[in-house]
Amino acid sequence: MPSNQSLSDRDLSVLWHPCTQMKDHETFPIIPIKKGQGVWLEDFDGNRYLDAISSWWVNLFGHANPIINAALKDQLDTLEHVIFAGFTHQSAVKLAEKLVEITPEGLSRCFYADNGSAAVEVALKMSFHYWRNQGQTQKTKFITLENSYHGETLGALAVGNVSLYKETYAPLLMDVITVPGPDCYLREPGESWADYSTRRFALMEQTLQQHSDAVCAVIIEPLVQCAGNMRMYDPVYLKLLRAACDKYNVHLIADEIAVGFGRTGTLFACEQAVISPDFMCLSKGLTGGYLPLSAVLTTDQVYQAFYADYQAMSAFLHSHSYTGNALACRAALATIDIFQQHNIIEKNKSLADSMAKAAARFHDHPNVAEVRQTGMILAIELVKNKRTREPYPWQERRGLKVYQYALSQGVLLRPLGNVIYFMPPYIVTENELLLIADVAWQGIQQAVKD
């Protein structure tokens, strides 16, 4: 039987891991996982870890979920994959029907890709190509928010604004228009989220008024900028943005890759503003954390702009070898079935309250600037000085110290810089939430003691 050490050694001789300075693993070992069950992961030495971040925000209903497992076993005996150009299959059709049913009104067409970044690429290209097919070839720009993140392929990276991901590759990226965002961490003392988000929208309005003739779309992460340190804002911003995009004849792309499927307290974050975007990008939780799959939902108006005789050369040009993969589609169907048959959104309200109670003591911690929460996402922002909100120098890697301590106590927390966040699977218990909070508290104590 392999051990942690033997597998780690083999790994480091051949593998290159994502978002990782591999030299760190000279002193901080990689952890090989043998199996998962529910919210728990187990390594080859018998240590267990509570997956408090849903394995990079994808796992909604636990590892080795029996319902999703059964669906995949059934699908595997029938069809694993088939070319999706000129062919289709039952799971892809049923999933598209279900997505049209559960997403905001007006989203009536589904285009599959195989990961979140690819979904963003599809939406960007589709918006640009729509305007081209309409004869508005001057529309070539995109508007994005500061501190935004939409993926790491070149188009998705271009419309993001987190410098850690973007600066190195800047010479390869298209130019975009970046607007100061509604991030409520920056609000004035005593100012509400709604008031601040409304006030900040004036900057977006000015930009649309000035550039709308050249702009294809605004792309936004509704309510929570997850990779941007879990910064949050009020739904009123989305409502104002939808109205402005209509006014200035610009598409609205909602990147719900991280915030969709119940993370913000509703099935989709856009529901909290009662809006429908022109494009909605979905991935991550779509398959319950089992298989890579993404979908772009759009309107019939967009679809009809591409629908013509072949000689018109107006078809949308985008493909992936694994488009509409049958196994992934079946996992997604099982995931949606769990939502619908087990009243998950309502149950999550109670879980979100429990998470808030578990984290209540962090509000008064001398090195915590803010505890913020939207639904099943809770973030704790560490700072050097609570009064001035002076951050710790990034080079000190305080968040990494919390991560390392938490692992030693059997909890998987993977901070974003100095922001510790809880984003657990929806099957987490109140006692497990208390464990997550206790370990995070002790980890922060360790990280700030000097």
Residues that constitute the known binding site for substrate: 56, 149, 284, 319, 414
Residue 280 · residue 108 · CB < 8 Å: no
d(CA 1, CA 34): 11
Please report, in range form, the residues annotated as the binding site for pyridoxal 5'-phosphate: 116-117, 255, 320-321
CA angle 426, 431, 433 (to 5 degrees): 50
Residue 41 β-bridge partners: 36, 49
Please list the alpha-helical segments (H only) found in 26-162: 54-57, 66-76, 90-102, 116-133, 154-158
d(CA 214, CA 204): 15
d(CA 386, CA 380): 12
Closest to 53 in 3D by CA, of 393, 419, 330, 445: 419
Closest to 30 in 3D by CA, of 9, 53, 13: 9
Residue 419 · residue 230 · CB < 8 Å: yes
Q: How many CB atoms lie within 10 A of CB 45?
A: 12
Please report, in range form, the residues annotated as the binding site: 56, 116-117, 149, 255, 284, 319-321, 414
